[in-house]
């Protein structure tokens, strides 16, 4: 299947990165390289793009999409390890970094990856198919309490306890192997009168995907590491697609900006607040009405930008 992924908030990201033609830039979620292609078009031969992705299929697709460019380094890895990746490349600082979080359109559409609640496919959901933990492992081996907590926390699903209970009942009869089997359990766990807000399995599938790929726990520290990896004046652009991601990014930006916690009546700061730069947009940038109509994935997208001092 062709790797198709329409980049969200493309021009807003390009503008936000404030690209220097001879700079070094990182796309930490390379995907189909839609954002990266536009970054490279603004770079000279002295500039460089580092493309990181944990999905080997995405890397292969990106190499094909960017074959006209020679100044690209492709890394099979996780953006959570940005400090180690740059250290291995002997790069002390970069001029811009982009993170387009969440699952790609390709991963959703490629049904055998198990991300989609449509159809009947193996429960997988791994962004990196070389890792061991799969959605099947989570669904069949996690305790009822752990499942309920994950579905509630990562999916914000109000019927999480009922879903977890019914998963545990079903798996005693036989192992839950396919997306269709899981969807069937979820649908039976939510009252019909409450199944009006999109597909009933959407929140649970999101939660399990986040758990399988460890998308939330490291995010706060990843943002701080990314900011520290920037050269002075460098920009970090992060696109989030749900409130858990956005809260983690916002919190990290506020921390990195440095806020004095001293009482207001003190004549000078004694809390030793450290600032790594400034938040460029206090309110997140969202997609235009036109983009939302053309690309439904952009409806929940939020872009936050930070500049290193």
Instruction: Tell me the per-residue pLDDT of 70-83, one tens digit each, with 9 for 90 and over.
Output: 999 999 999 999 99
State the residue range of the domain holding 209: 129-213
Using alpha carbons, list the distances in angstroms from residue 276 to 92, 171, 187, 229, 236: 16, 49, 47, 11, 12
Task: Answer whether residue 305 shows pLDDT above 50.
Answer: yes
**The tokens 């001879």 sit on which residue?**
22
Packing angle of the helix pair 202-213, 144-155 (nearest 10 deg): 100
Rounded Cα distance between 159 and 208, Å, is: 15
Beta bridge partners of 49: 25, 72
> What is the per-residue pLDDT for 3?
55
Confidence of residue 1 (pLDDT cuts 50, 70, 90): very low
Among 213, 235, 270, which residue terminates a domain? Answer: 213
Record the pTM.
0.93
> What is the per-residue pLDDT for 6?
82
For residues 255 and 193, membership in a common domain is answered with no
For residues 201 and 224, membership in a common domain is answered with no
Is residue 160, in this structure, part of any structural domain at all?
A: yes
- What DSSP character marks residue 284? P
Task: Answer whether residue 264 shows pLDDT above 90.
Answer: no
Is residue 58 within 8 Å of residue 100, measured between CB atoms? no
The stretches of 24-93 forming alpha helices (DSSP H) are 34-41, 56-65, 82-88
Is residue 114, in this structure, part of any structural domain at all?
A: no
For residues 195 and 225, membership in a common domain is answered with no
């Amino acid at each position: 299947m062709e790797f198709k992924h329409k980049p969200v908030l493309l021009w807003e990201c390009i503008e936000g990165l404030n690209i220097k033609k001879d700079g070094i830039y990182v796309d930490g979620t390379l995907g189909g390289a839609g954002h990266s292609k536009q970054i490279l078009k603004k770079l000279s031969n002295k500039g460089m793009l580092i493309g990181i992705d944990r999905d080997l299929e995405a890397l292969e697709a990106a190499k094909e999409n960017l074959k006209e460019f020679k100044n690209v380094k492709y890394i099979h890895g996780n953006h959570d390890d940005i400090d180690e990746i740059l250290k291995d490349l002997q790069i002390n600082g970069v001029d811009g970094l982009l993170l387009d979080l969440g699952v790609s359109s390709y991963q959703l559409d490629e049904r055998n990856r198990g991300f989609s609640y449509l159809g009947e496919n193996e429960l997988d959901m791994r962004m990196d198919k070389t890792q061991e933990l799969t959605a099947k492992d989570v669904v069949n081996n996690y305790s009822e309490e752990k499942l309920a907590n994950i579905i509630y926390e990562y999916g914000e699903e109000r019927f999480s306890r009922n879903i977890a209970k019914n998963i545990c009942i079903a798996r005693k009869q036989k192992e839950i192997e396919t997306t269709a089997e899981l969807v069937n359990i979820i649908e039976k766990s939510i009252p019909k009168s409450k199944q009006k807000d999109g597909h009933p399995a959407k929140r649970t599938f999101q939660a399990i995907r986040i758990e399988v790929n460890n998308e939330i726990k490291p995010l706060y520290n990843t943002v701080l590491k990314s900011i520290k990896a920037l050269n002075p004046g460098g920009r970090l652009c992060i696109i989030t697609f749900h409130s858990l991601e956005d809260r983690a990014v916002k919190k990290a930006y506020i921390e990195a900006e440095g806020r004095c916690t001293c009482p207001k009546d003190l004549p000078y700061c004694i809390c030793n607040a450290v600032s790594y730069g400034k938040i460029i947009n206090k309110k997140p940038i969202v997609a235009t009405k036109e983009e939302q109509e053309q690309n439904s994935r952009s409806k929940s997208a939020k872009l936050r930008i930070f500049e290193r001092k």
